[in-house]
Amino acid sequence: MAKSQPRKRMTDRKRASRSGGKKSAAAGEPRAGGKATARVSSKKRKREPASRTGKPRGGSARKPRVSAAIPKETRKNVPTMRPTPAPDKPPRLLGDTKSTAAALSLLEKVIKLIFLKDFRRARAEIKALMETYPGEKEILAKARSYLQICDREEAALRKPAVTGDQLYMFGVVEHNRGNYESAISVFNQLLAKRPDADYLYYAIAATSALRGDVVQALVNLRQAIGLNESNRVYAKNDPDFISLHEQGEFADLVGVVLQAKSEAGQS
């Protein structure tokens, strides 16, 4: 019995020390090895430095609030970008086939012919282009536009810039203004295209009489009367021929002398 009591006391002390150590550790009292524990806990409290990417190591980074930097009015007006859908078939580039290159060469020839005003040959080349390369739709569309240019230019060449009637009226205006040389030049220009126009001979005769050219006035007046007998009466009553009333040939043409003789016989 005497030997077992000390052992019991030792176990009681061990139990007391164990229970007391736990309580002191729970209460924050220092114990053996407590300093190391405190250091570890203090290290955990320290804020870990940020990594190169700006995020703190060992933790999730806070996301910046975008709404605070951009006002509400601006955020409402920001358009939403939608990706453009890819085309079903990629566009075919010109010149990627042998036929395309040949069609382009023929189209260049058409352009040169149009530039040289050779619309007949250009039209023939366009026709050959349409028949030979019907699959080249882009080039054929250009060829049709050049065909319209040929039609327009040919119509402009066929249509006279000034009609004969407009040119005759211009000559009459020049006659009335006293520009006799210009008027006679216009009438002669029309007379070269209309050699049987009696009114042109009459106009040249009247203008020549006002100009003082008696010979040309009588020659053209005789020609006008030969084509149309009515010009005899017109010349007799036309004041443009007053300067010719004393000319015997003019009197024979219009009957002024016969009328003057009859009046003298009555008196």
Per-residue confidence (pLDDT) for residue 164, from 0 to 100: 83
Q: How far apart are CA 266 and CA 60, in angstroms?
A: 141
Where are the alpha helices (H) located in the chain, listed in sequence order?
Answer: 4-27, 34-45, 66-69, 72-77, 98-115, 119-132, 137-158, 164-177, 180-193, 198-211, 214-227, 230-236, 248-254, 256-266
Q: Locate 60 and state its tokens.
A: 């999730």
- Number of Cβ within 10 Å of residue 182's Cβ equals 16
3 state DSSP class of 56: strand
Per-residue confidence (pLDDT) for residue 218, from 0 to 100: 94
Q: How far apart are CA 110 and CA 94, in angstroms?
A: 18
10-residue mean pLDDT profile of the chain (267 residues): values are: 49 53 46 48 51 52 54 55 63 62 89 90 91 89 91 80 84 93 94 92 95 93 93 92 88 68 46
Per-residue confidence (pLDDT) for residue 267, from 0 to 100: 45
Per-residue confidence (pLDDT) for residue 246, from 0 to 100: 85
Over its C-alpha atoms, the chain yields an Rg (Å, rounded) of 59
Per-residue confidence (pLDDT) for residue 163, from 0 to 100: 81
